[in-house]
Chain A
């Protein structure tokens, strides 16, 4: 990896870590959303260093362009002045949380120790490495695995997402006044029909008992 690549990695990694911390620490929801945005952009920088150009662009388009927009809309709907929930965490919880964090960080650090720098960020392809290295992470290689090797799961996921969208709309939309009226009308008609049926049966029963059964 070149010196420039290392500098870029250090910069992106630092921004990613700091903005990730900012997302959870900062009190103002809007600043948290903006830290998340910075984190996403730094991550796509890291993807670029791994030769994953398409992934980097999609990270920007989908996560920065769509997901953060969603957060922004939620923040605007709830408003900035939501009272903060009271802090229920005591000393025991806090100590346990810090202990768990230290252990997890240690595990992560030890498992990453044998990883060398070239694995973190890829350098340019050497002359002997051929076409496979050149295309690694490119649009061609990516779509190869997406549309040929993994076509069935990919299409299934898209169907699943469509179903989820339809379901979400059906749940969230509620019913219009006409629909409520129509279903009320239908229910009324059913109740009326049931009442008529009941009355008819009663009348029949009365008739039967009046004539003394099988006569």
Chain B
């Protein structure tokens, strides 16, 4: 492996710090982008006052978050209540460790990168559920329960769809999967038909895992106030919000590494390609959010168990047959 930094510990530290900095900065301005986008969809202007085109709004928001009063409800389990927000952010950032940004640059080139990413993103349901439970609030608890139910249901088709690239490339390492795509085909086109369905399903389940509309039934502000985060104020709420954005971005990056060739692309440097693909996917995420309606609980479960799970099982079988026949 031609890593830029030889010592594994140092490499992990430097890349980790770099990744967290880049991700958190991106998250701040992604919130600006989303507000602007939403405003355009609804024929509004969005933030305009702070800085040119409202570009400094995220910084103002962060300061505001730090200044607000920090409230812990009297009936709350205060230890778990305090623990939940940083844990949520930690888990959504931890997934980024295995993302290949460019050749020879990733925090940790695990053999099992795909499994690692999926395991951490599957764990994310816990801190959010703990938040809902420890708030001692009915809306929060309901939201938390929905979060766990949705999280474990959608994890299954997500893992199965991520298995398609694994079966085709014969490796669980994300950097190996990207290298295969750079040498052969992007996996969204390969195997023909199966790849594109797997990509669409993976993207859909990733939306569900990161609680974005149309899968934001745990938050469902029109019925549950704000779901698990109802009782959170100030920077604790800010941590949840940034964790949600970070998770969305990491899921988009994961999807582009698994299916869209990662850093592979002509002319531009590899890291730019990776960023461009991730950004393009995130635009679609935002676009979907402001175009579609929220699914009901039962529709959500029916979609997962009646359609996504059987189809993704068939996809894994199809990919296996393809590898067996074509090679």
| Residue A118 is within 8 A (CB to CB) of chain B in the complex | no
Q: Answer yes or no: A4 CB below 8 A from chain B CBs.
A: yes
The answer to whether A65 and B111 touch (CB under 8 A), given A34-B80, A60-B119, A72-B129, is no
A68–B126 contact, CB under 8 A? yes
Residues of B within 8 Å of A68, CB to CB, are 126
Partner of B110, one of A37, A53, A69: A53
| In contact, A64 and B145 (Cβ under 8 angstroms) | no
Contact mask for chain A residues 66-92; partner B; CB cutoff 8 A; 1 contact, 0 none: 101100110010000000000000000
In chain A, positions 115-165 with a C-beta closer than 8 Å to chain B are 138-139
Which one of A28, A34, A37, A53 has the greatest number of beta carbons of chain B within 10 Å? A34
Are A30 and B126 neighbours in the complex by a CB distance under 8 Å?
A: no
CB–CB A31/B77 < 8 A: yes
Interface residues on B, range: 20 to 34
Q: A60-B120, A64-B119 are in contact. Are A69 and B133 (CB under 8 A)?
A: no
Contact across chains for B126 and A54 when beta carbons are under 8 A apart: no
Q: B112 — which chain A residues lie within 8 A by C-beta?
A: 53-54, 56-57, 139
Q: How far is the CA of A1 from the CA of B53 in the complex (A)?
A: 54
Chain B residues with Cβ below 8 Å from A66 are 152
Q: Is A61 an interface residue (CB 8 A)?
A: yes
- CB < 8 Å neighbour of A60 from B9, B123, B152: B123
Contact of A69 with B148 at beta-carbon distance under 8 Å, contacts A30-B77, A34-B80 already known:
yes
Bound CA span A196–B79, Å: 72
- Among A28, A53, A57: residue with most chain B CB under 10 A: A57
Chain A proximity of B114: nearest CB distance (Å): 9
A residues whose Cβ falls under 8 Å from a Cβ of B = 2, 4, 28, 30-31, 34, 37, 53-54, 56-58, 60-61, 64-66, 68-69, 72-73, 76, 138-139
Please name the 7 residue pairs, one residue from A and one from B, whose CB atoms are nearest each other, closest first: A60-B119, A57-B115, A65-B122, A61-B119, A57-B112, A4-B9, A53-B112
Q: What residues make up the interface of B, taking CB atoms closer than 8 Å to A? A: 9, 77, 79-80, 110-112, 115-116, 118-120, 122-123, 125-126, 129-130, 133-134, 145, 148, 151-152, 155, 159, 172
17 contacts between A and B (CB under 8 A): A4-B9, A28-B77, A30-B133, A31-B77, A34-B80, A53-B112, A54-B115, A54-B172, A57-B112, A58-B115, A60-B116, A64-B126, A65-B152, A66-B152, A69-B148, A73-B148, A139-B172
